[in-house]
Structure 1
Amino acid sequence: MSGAFLKAVSTAMERIAPLRLAESFDNVGLLLETPLRQSKRHRVMLTIDLTTAVVDESIKKEASVIVAYHPTIFTGLKSFTMANPLQASLLRCAASGISVFCPHTALDCTWGGINDWLAEGVIGNKDSGVIRPLEHEKYSPSGDSEGALGRLVTLKAPISMDALEKRIKEHLKLPQIQVGYSTIEPTKPVETVAICAGSGGSVFRGKKADVYFTGEMQHHEVLAAVAAGTNVILCGHTNTERGYLPILASKLESQLQTAAFNEVFDIVVSESDKHPLQIV
């Protein structure tokens, strides 16, 4: 793979979601850089998780870079063996000349990132609500606001929970979601919605909203929320993230074209990447 292409992809991703926006617990950026190999065409595979199926697909489609939203490595590893499925995936990528870049919470926080995409689904019509940061804003070294963790949507006209549930299912293309209703005012119209992609329990702690909208929360976090008068909508961890990948593909392609990378490349969204749980 051309080292210039990997550098171009990493630089483009940094422009889309600056790594400095990532949470302190996170491990983001270029997590696997493989030895160079020659290729007539460069391909980026976008996925949420680096599963065995995604690696199979990436090798088959001759990808040179995988942008995997979730970090493939979180803590220090003392060994790399084929006995561990994740390590085996990384070893297979290395053997096939595929590098791996992971943006995770940097892509959550950045303006125009995953949480803003979720917020747009809640609003429906862009003039029907206001999107604000749920937590403190993060700034660039020059002092420009670059993003924040979580979003708070305030609807200009309150809607019923039924209407909100329909909007979210349509936006995420899901036939079913999990809902916990407030034990205080279950029929109260919804005006404010707190949003966090993935797992939002810790982000929502201490935040006031009519609804918490996220992928998953711990059991006791849900109990506490509904007891305090907040409805909860859970859609499955990666179901709140995967629908953003086509948008990321468009952003990445635009950045690479702007950078005038003059070799042939394309960007594809994995067809094998799926939520690990099914409703049966």
Structure 2
Amino acid sequence: MSKSCTVGKIINILEQWAPKKLAYDWDNVGLQIGDLSAEVNCILTTLDVNEAVVDEAIEVGAQLIIAHHPLLFKPLKQINFAEPIGRVIRKLICSNIAVYAAHTNLDIASGGVNDWLATCLKLEEVKVMLPEYEEKLYKLHVYVPNSHVDEVDLALTHLGVGQLGDYSECSFRIQGTGTFKPEQGSDPFIGQKGEKEYVEETKLEYILPEPLIKPVITKLINVHPYEEPAYDLIELANQGRVQGLGRIGKLKHPIRLGQFAEQIKNTFQLQGLRITGDPEQIVAKVAVLGGSGEKYFRQAKRLGADVYVTGDLTFHQAQDAEALGLALIDPGHYIEKVMITGLQNDLKVKLADQTLDIEIVTTEVNTDPFIYM
């Protein structure tokens, strides 16, 4: 496995999972500082980028910082080295450290921040709370000589082709005879130039989501024995994966609100949190949205949530939710820190799939500005 690659290649892998098109238009995701062609052998994951995090990146030898909150969010009118942001930018550039922000695109993406939060809360039957996108599905037909069927199938399903709900490696196979005549300039794997060839082949059929098309076709061309593989891509009317903000699911065992709040406090190692509602009431259905999600409490209620977990709740919104009979738990904005280890674990798998063995280090800097007294 390779121990290094470029900033650009790592970003391509990350954006196949959480493409920038998922981000809201007010957001600033993507490469913030750096060179796409720069070599990377160590990545630091963090919620925020401040001077302490940059110093940490220098210390561990990271060439790329992947953050959730963008370092550059509002337009800069100047870069003053006497100001905190100016010092950070200068230190990053002088140290050849790139910064990439995966913010609302990672919130919305399947397997991103809100799914990590739902996992931490041990929710079952999890669904998207605020649908934003529905992935298009395609049917891939590819014709393979029988001698190479298993090799091609393994390569494609390894990329995620043929996933149907909780079932993986799903395909359909049809036996038949392929015909072709190699012309001048060809370099046939089977047959002779100028002579029509008949080959016993298998037609493999798979379903795949739109984001996988490019890597799958690239892999297909590389692994298929034919110089010109024959394949078809057909857009389907089937419902694809829904992506969006927030998650809603059920607890395995209903629990009192006060007990659930204590579990959240322990799970996220919080000094304190705020709740509305009767601590003795039983909660079974839970909505969660990382960051600042107070404006979506009505959607949580419409979906039948007993309690809504989100940060940065304000007084009047909390009163309105209470009047609707929806309990609230505010563990603070900083619970989004789940992305630090979540990104490390999942990105390691995705890099390994590309035969890349890049070190990924999680920050030890606490960027939460609040202290509870």
Report the TM-score range of the alignment, normalised by the length of the smaller protein: 0.7 to 0.9
In structure 1, the partner of 2:68 is: 69
Q: Give the Cα–Cα distance (whole angstroms) in 1 for the partners of residues 24 and 36 of structure 2.
A: 29
> C-alpha displacement at 1:157, in angstroms?
4.4
Of all paired residues, the percent bearing the same amino acid is 31
In structure 1, the partner of 2:81 is: 82
In structure 2, the partner of 1:233 is: 329
Q: Mapping of 1:115-130 within 5 angstroms?
A: 115-123=114-122, 129-130=124-125
**Secondary structure of the equivalent of 1:195?**
strand
CA distances 1:76-116 after superposition (whole Å, capped 9, x unpaired): 22221113312321221111100000001111111121111
Q: Give the Cα–Cα distance (whole angstroms) in 2 for the partners of residues 87 and 13 of structure 1.
A: 27
List runs of 5+ in structure 1 lacking aligned partners: none
Give the TM-score normalised by structure 1: 0.86
**Secondary structure of the equivalent of 2:121?**
helix
CA distances 1:144-185 after superposition (whole Å, capped 9, x unpaired): 325211111234643211231133223212243221226xxx
> Does 2:141 align with 1:46?
no
In structure 2, the partner of 1:111 is: 110
Q: Give the Cα–Cα distance (whole angstroms) in 1 for the partners of residues 48 and 368 of structure 2.
A: 9
Q: Give the Cα–Cα distance (whole angstroms) in 2 for the partners of residues 35 and 81 of structure 1.
A: 25
CA distances 1:235-279 after superposition (whole Å, capped 9, x unpaired): 1211x1113321211211222222223xx6311001113311111
Give the TM-score normalised by structure 2: 0.65
> Does 2:246 align with 1:150?
yes
Q: Give the Cα–Cα distance (whole angstroms) in 2 for the partners of residues 37 and 113 of structure 1.
A: 26
Residues 260 and 244 of structure 1: CA distance in aligned 2, closer, same or farther (over 3 Å): same
Q: Give the Cα–Cα distance (whole angstroms) in 2 for the partners of residues 25 and 225 of structure 1.
A: 27
> C-alpha displacement at 1:34, in angstroms?
4.1
Q: Which moved more, 1:221-230 or 1:50-59?
A: 221-230
Q: Give the Cα–Cα distance (whole angstroms) in 2 for the partners of residues 275 and 178 of structure 1.
A: 16
CA distances 1:38-93 after superposition (whole Å, capped 9, x unpaired): 7xx72111110101111111122221000011011123222211133123212211
Residues 279 and 98 of structure 1: CA distance in aligned 2, closer, same or farther (over 3 Å): same
Q: Give the Cα–Cα distance (whole angstroms) in 2 for the partners of residues 36 and 21 of structure 1.
A: 25
Q: Which moved more, 1:266-275 or 1:114-123?
A: 114-123
RMSD: 2.4
Whether contact under 8 Å (2:286, 2:306) holds in the other structure is yes
> C-alpha displacement at 1:122, in angstroms?
2.5
> C-alpha displacement at 1:203, in angstroms?
2.9
> Does 2:192 align with 1:97?
no
In structure 2, the partner of 1:178 is: 274
Name the amino acid aligned to 2:257.
M
Q: Give the Cα–Cα distance (whole angstroms) in 1 for the partners of residues 21 and 5 of structure 2.
A: 23
Q: Give the Cα–Cα distance (whole angstroms) in 1 for the partners of residues 299 and 66 of structure 2.
A: 33
Task: From the CA coordinates, give the structure whose radius of gyration is larger.
Answer: 2
Q: Which moved more, 1:141-150 or 1:160-169?
A: 141-150
In structure 2, the partner of 1:259 is: 354
Q: Which moved more, 1:202-211 or 1:18-27?
A: 202-211
Residues 116 and 36 of structure 1: CA distance in aligned 2, closer, same or farther (over 3 Å): closer
Name the amino acid aligned to 1:218.
T
Q: 1:199 aligns with which of 283, 292, 313?
A: 292
> Does 2:341 align with 1:246?
yes
Q: 2:133 aligns with which of 138, 145, 150?
A: 138
Name the amino acid aligned to 2:288.
I
**Secondary structure of the equivalent of 2:300?**
coil
Q: 2:317 aligns with which of 210, 221, 239?
A: 221
Q: Give the Cα–Cα distance (whole angstroms) in 1 for the partners of residues 93 and 355 of structure 2.
A: 27
In structure 1, the partner of 2:31 is: 30
**Secondary structure of the equivalent of 1:173?**
coil
Q: Give the Cα–Cα distance (whole angstroms) in 2 for the partners of residues 276 and 44 of structure 1.
A: 24
Q: Judging by fraction of residues, say which structure has more strand.
A: 2
In structure 1, the partner of 2:233 is: none
Residues 268 and 7 of structure 1: CA distance in aligned 2, closer, same or farther (over 3 Å): same
Q: Give the Cα–Cα distance (whole angstroms) in 1 for the partners of residues 250 and 354 of structure 2.
A: 37
Q: Give the Cα–Cα distance (whole angstroms) in 1 for the partners of residues 95 and 268 of structure 2.
A: 33
Q: Which moved more, 1:141-150 or 1:55-64?
A: 141-150
Name the amino acid aligned to 1:138.
Y
Across the two proteins, how many residue pairs are aligned to each other? Answer: 267
Name the amino acid aligned to 2:245.
L
Q: Which moved more, 1:68-77 or 1:204-213?
A: 204-213
